[in-house]
Amino acid sequence: MDEYIAQIFLGGNMTLVTYATCEDSLLAAPIMLDLLLLGEFFTRIEIDGVSTGPVLSYLSFFFKAPVTNHPEYVFNSFSKQKTLLINFLMACGGYPISDQTLLGIGL
């Protein structure tokens, strides 16, 4: 509940009260499912028999302050995180990617 009090003419007060039912957990459920499914998917991917590397850096798109055990792969930029995730998934599907994925491969 939010309450806003404003002074009006002749020293009077006007009170505006709003009541909002927020169900943040319902809004976050699809994002949590995406996070879990992508995390599990990324642990299965290998390129030329080698693991794809820091899974947490690919999932940094879902976190406000990403942390990983490979600090060289941490990006604190939403657009870079989004590009990294999209390009990685495109590479997994066999589509051409840009060179911003840090995978060291060319498709």
What pLDDT, on a 0 to 100 scale, did the predictor assign at position 97? 78
36 vs 53, more confident: 36
107 SS3 class:
coil
Element (H, E) at 16: strand 13-18
- One DSSP character per residue, 43-78 reads HH-EETTEE---HHHHGGGG-SS---S-GGG----H
Q: What's the chain's average pLDDT?
A: 77
Q: Residue 79: what are its φ and ψ, rounded to 5°?
A: -65, -35
pLDDT at position 53 is 66
Is the pTM higher than 0.85? The answer reads: no
Q: How far is CA 7 from CA 1, 2, 14, 17, 91, in A?
A: 20, 17, 6, 15, 60
Q: pLDDT per residue over 47-85, tens digit each?
A: 777 776 677 777 878 877 777 767 667 777 788 888 878
The amino acid occupying position 54 is P
In this structure, are residues 60 and 75 in contact, taking their beta carbons and an 8 Å threshold?
yes
Residue 100's pLDDT band, with cuts at 50, 70 and 90, is: low
Q: What's residue 31's pLDDT?
A: 85
**Tens digit of pLDDT for each residue in 9-26?**
888 898 988 877 767 667
Residue located via tokens 């941490």: 74
Give yes or no for residue 93 having a pLDDT over 80. Answer: yes
Residue 45 has pLDDT above 60, yes or no: yes
